[in-house]
Amino acid sequence: MRLGHAAAAVMAVCLSAGPVWADEVVKFALIDPMSGSFAATGRLGEQHFRFAMDRINESGAAGPGRKFDLVVLDNEVSPEKSLVLLRKAIDDGVHYITQGNGSSVAFALTDAIAKNNKRDPARSAMFLNYAAVDPALTNAKCNWWHFRFDADSDMKMRAMSSYILTRKDLHKVYVFNQDYSFGQSVERGAKEMLTGKRDDLQIVGAERVPLGKVKDFTPYIQKMQAAGADAVVTGNWGADLALLVKAANDSGFKGTFFTYYLGSTEVITEVGQAGRGDAQISEWHANVDSAPIEEMAAAFEAKYHQAFYYWRVVNMLDMTAAAMKQANSSDPEKVGKVLAGMNFHNPLGDVSMRADNHQLLQPMFISVLEPGVKHVFPEVNMGFRTIGRIEPDQTRMATTCSLANPS
Amino acid sequence: MEQGLLVVLNGLVYGLLLFMLSSGLTLIVGMMGVLNLAHASFYMLGAYLAYSISTVVGFWPALVLAPLAVGVIGALVERYGLRPVHRHGHVAELLFTFGLAFVIGEIVPLIWGRLPVPYRVPAVLDVPLFALAGTAYPAYRLFMMLISLAMFCALFAALAKTRLGLVVRAALTHPDMVAMLGHDVPRVFTLVFGAGCALAGLAGVIAGNAFTTEPGMARSLGAIVFAVVVMGGLGSLSGALVASLLIGLVQTVSIGLDLPFYKALSALGITVDVGGRLHDLWLLSVNRAAPVVPYLLLVLVLATRPRGLLGSRSA
């Protein structure tokens, strides 16, 4: 009882001591791994959110007197834990949920948010997805409250596979992924888009490993070598990619890695010099020619002492802020109606949020890791060089989803 | 054939690494009757300390200094943490080590950050040793193996041949009698705990740069080390060796098997009805199940031999 009084007193103090200069604080709950194998990846995301929010709060981009605030919740990449955290966030009055690591988590969240919003419209929540790229999230499992700001794995695979097909020096492709919904969709996409397209190119192996469990990938690399693979297509991220490439270096594997997530700092430090020639598909990298983002990256690096990586987090929050300003409200339903079908101009060009499945269409870049480019990772003295830009409209895929605004 | 040899080599490296971790743990369990849940945290501490030391004086001094430092920390923990708790019984001790694992798990990222640290294999050993079936075999792996074997021999000799080893072995089974004979048993406990932690630290030093040194490394190995110790028999050093090698080899071999279970079993002379109720299980390929294998082995061993492979008391 006494504890209850004390807690109430503390809360009262906190509430009264809140910032008086802001008319409205919009809270965003970031539900991502902040401990365990993928803690490094989650923390990197958190820093980008703080950075992007500071910019918006300074410029007032979300509308006069409206500030963004971040609540960080550690889900250890567990869908079950994420649901508990989501409940807590909604109970605490948070209307904006954001998550990126693990499509398995995203499925649980999108489902729970749809149910919550139906049951309790007054406490509706919006799901801003910055990195969970299973195509089903904007197809079979799509939901009006979910908006995705990263290209889905099929969009990325289409770009990646068309590049692989042009590489006449590649003949044997090994597909290697993490064993959950995202990894499975990468594997399916790679098989669909690479099989039977070129007579001298075949898939010599496909394998999946449990998420974040394997520490020594050497046996897997040896299987790739035994299969004679000269290219590896992988959607692995975080430690699962870093250790895979490290094992490849140790075993003298000569093939090229075609990745989704090579550019994050923790991976680059492991890749080392041997990563030369490995490729990545992404919405941005440090050598994409854009002065405003280069400035942003420098500011991020000065503040957090590591390389800027999630351009899409900045873009996502900028778009959300613009939508709030336009809707003149932070009510998720009103903001969502603006976001659906929204056209937005960012330093890389025009991007648009599809109204039918809430998938962002944005320019994508295929790049390879090389020495002698303008911005290099100091750890390895190499950086990414763009070898192909894919325009937003070229990434548009057919969807089974047809969302309509709630009336 | 060459491919097979590689698989065996990998299994040995992994197995010996597991042994280095579990040897310290099994000694502590055997002697003090307390399952040190923070054991894998000392492994992590070893890797981080080795990283910090190696940035100043290089890898080779770190190879000696880091395990010593971890051993000293372990001994201090036993003397000032575990010993006062000892009289409250095993549950209190267990809870103490449980808490300790969390404390170390939080202190490490506070000091070194949450990102992996760039702890590297020394340049001398960062070369391919030989090539087999088109695969380079890193010299560092052989070095890991040699260190583990040297450590096993040293430990065995110390326990079997020295006077101190005699006292330790006696204190394992008859602590009261040893105390009556005028030996300082609590000090022997501190020594064994410190030595056990130092071994875990050594494992961290040589594994931290072969894999990654990151705050999650203790958690990922913790469970498997317990599996090894229980499987080998609590307190049995040779049991821990057998169990480590078994787990290391079986897990590595199963990664390489792209066969469905029913085919793998029929190679062993067991035929199963694929169409039956367990249809999905029989068609699952063995490599997909590789991460479960250690725990499966643990359950099998416990079901048939509850005291573990070479243990003398029941778990």
pLDDT in tens, B93-113: 899 999 999 999 989 989 988
Any idea what the CATH number is for the domain that residue B207 is in?
A: 1.10.3470
Identity (one letter) of the amino acid at A30?
L
- On whether residue B116 sits in a domain, the answer given is yes
**Which one-letter DSSP state was computed for residue B233?**
-
Q: How far apart are CA B24 and CA B39, in angstroms?
A: 8
**Mean confidence (pLDDT) of chain B:** 85
Cβ <8 Å between B116 and A269: yes
Q: B116, A266: Cβ pair inside 8 Å?
A: yes
**Lowest mean pLDDT, pick from A385-389, B50-54, B134-138, B196-200:** B134-138
Q: Are A186 and A235 in contact (CB under 8 A)?
A: yes
Q: Are strands A146-148 and A343-346 parallel, antiparallel or unpaired?
A: unpaired
- Per-residue pLDDT tens over the stretch B218-258: 887 888 888 898 898 888 888 899 999 999 898 888 877 77
**Quick check: A289 pLDDT over 80?**
yes
Put simply, the answer to whether A43 touches B220 (Cβ < 8 Å) is no
pLDDT at B139 > cutoff 90: no
A161-166 average pLDDT score = 88
Decide if A266 and B140 are in contact by the 8 Å CB cutoff: no
Give the residue numbers spanning the domain of B145.
2-304
DSSP assignment string, A214-257: -S--HHHHHHHHHTT-SEEEE---THHHHHHHHHHHHTT--PEE
- Among A39-43, A97-101, A106-110, A320-324, the range scoring the smallest mean pLDDT is A39-43
What DSSP element (H or E) covers A126? Answer: strand A126-129
The pLDDT of residue A138 is above 90: yes
The answer to whether B11 and B248 have CB atoms below 8 angstroms apart is yes
Domain-located, residue B310:
no
B278: which 2 tokens?
A: 């367990």
pLDDT over threshold 50, residue A17: no
Q: What pLDDT shows up at residue A53?
A: 96
> B313 in a domain, yes or no?
no
Predicted ipTM of the assembly: 0.74
| B192: in domain | yes
Separation of first and last alpha carbons in chain A: 46
What is the percent of chain A where pLDDT is above 90? 57
Lowest-confidence segment of A135-144, A264-273, B60-69 by average pLDDT: A264-273
> Residue A132 corresponds to which tokens in the numbers above?
């969970």
Any domain includes B60: yes
Note whether B136 contacts A: Cβ–Cβ < 8 A.
yes
Confidence of residue A257 (pLDDT cuts 50, 70, 90): very high
**CA distance, residue A406 to nearest chain B CA (Å):** 42
Could A40 and B116 be called an inter-chain contact, meaning their C-beta atoms sit closer than 8 Å? yes
Structure tokens at B237: 């050093």
What's chain A's length in residues? 407
Residue A247 has pLDDT above 90, yes or no: no
Per-domain residue ranges of chain A: 20-151+293-361, 154-282
CATH number of A20-151+293-361: 3.40.50.2300
Say whether A37 and B220 touch across the interface (CB within 8 A).
yes
Domain count, chain B: 1
- Sheet strand arrangement including A349-353: A343-346, A349-353, A360-361
pLDDT bucket at A38, cuts 50 / 70 / 90: confident
User: What pLDDT score does B45 carry?
Assistant: 95
Q: Which of A284, A240, A286, A237 is nearest to A262 (CA)?
A: A237
Q: Please check whether residue B4 touches A, CB under 8 A.
A: no
Give the pLDDT confidence score for residue A20 in this predicted structure: 45
Chain B contact present for A221, CB below 8 A: yes
- Residue A281, pLDDT score: 92
Q: CA-CA distance, A173 to B93, in Å (whole number)?
A: 53
CA distance A214 to A403: 39
Architecture of the domain whose range is A154-282: 3-Layer(aba) Sandwich (3.40)
Contact A21, A220 (CB under 8 A): no
Yes or no, beta carbons of B214 and A210 under 8 Å apart: no
Domain A20-151+293-361 shares a fold with domain A154-282: yes
Residue A334 has pLDDT above 70, yes or no: yes
Backbone angles phi, psi at B166, to 5 degrees: -60, -45
Looking at residue B89, the DSSP 8-state letter turns out to be -
B-chain CB neighbours of A208 within 8 Å are: 288
Show residues of chain A in contact with B258, CB under 8 Å.
223
Q: What is the pLDDT of residue B223?
A: 83
Average pLDDT over residues B2-10: 80
Q: What is the CA radius of gyration of chain A?
A: 22
Per-residue pLDDT, averaged over A330-335, amounts to 94
Closest to A219 (Cβ–Cβ): which among B7, B211, B288? Answer: B7
Residue B314 inside a domain? The answer is no
